[in-house]
A and B are shown apart, each in its own frame.
Chain A
């Protein structure tokens, strides 16, 4: 098994762990952490294909991962601000009870 395949298996499994967390947990914070895990898995894929791709000196993979990390940081900031806003309305962060648009 080549190292590229191991990298891809790692990123697939990490993505699926994040997916299971997003789908099965009820706390908004854990759901956001699952989304972060899935973004990390995508970044691992970018780096793996940059490292073992046909043209590694171009550096496009690295640049894309940098932009992706910045977008993930923005997403985390907005997501956790939303968690705090939801907590202010309903005094807990259980997603099952967050079913009002205006409250």
Chain B
């Protein structure tokens, strides 16, 4: 049980770290898809099947396509241009900041006596119960998040579209 968790963690962290260090944007995006798949595997391990499949659908299916299209639409020329680090001092500063946050968080986690439920079996929560919760006590949140997605996607189309407001409607 714990062994599987360690393997999944190594997959997630390895893919993410290599993706953040590479210079080729396409390779970074593909490695991050592997990392997101690892997160979906973690959700499956934890017993949250519905969230795992939502993660696969949304991250691996949708967001990865958006990322790849953004990479392809912003290329210059045919050869992929390597993305250099801006400067060494900025890289070192980022590493120090991230390492500091990691140190604080790991110290806090290891020093905290967690009083947790020790039952080994995953809690059984069926999709039917989840749907009842979404439609019952969380119905307003569901509507709000739907509205947010609609507005955000319309705004994304407006931002990315090439048409200026002063251009006539049927200019090719």
Residues of chain A touching chain B, judged by Cβ–Cβ distance below 8 Å, are 2-10, 12-27, 29-30, 32-34, 36-37, 40, 43-44, 47-48, 50-54, 56-57, 59, 61-63, 65-67, 69-78, 80-85, 87-88, 91-96
Contact = CB atoms under 8 A, between A and B. Distances in A.
Q: Give the secondary structure class of A's interface.
A: helix
A23 B20 CA distance: 11
Given A24-B90, A53-B117, A47 B109 contact: no
Main secondary structure of the interface of B (DSSP, over half): helix
Interface string B15-56: 011011000010011001001100100110011101100110
Interface residues of B, number: 81
Nearest to A40: B39
B74 A87 contact: yes
A12 B16 CA distance: 13
B70 A80 contact: yes
Given A23-B98, A57-B123, A73-B62, 6 more contacts: A4-B114, A20-B20, A25-B20, A36-B63, A62-B51, A74-B152
13 contacts: A10-B12, A15-B105, A17-B13, A26-B84, A40-B36, A57-B124, A62-B48, A66-B50, A70-B145, A80-B66, A83-B70, A85-B159, A87-B74
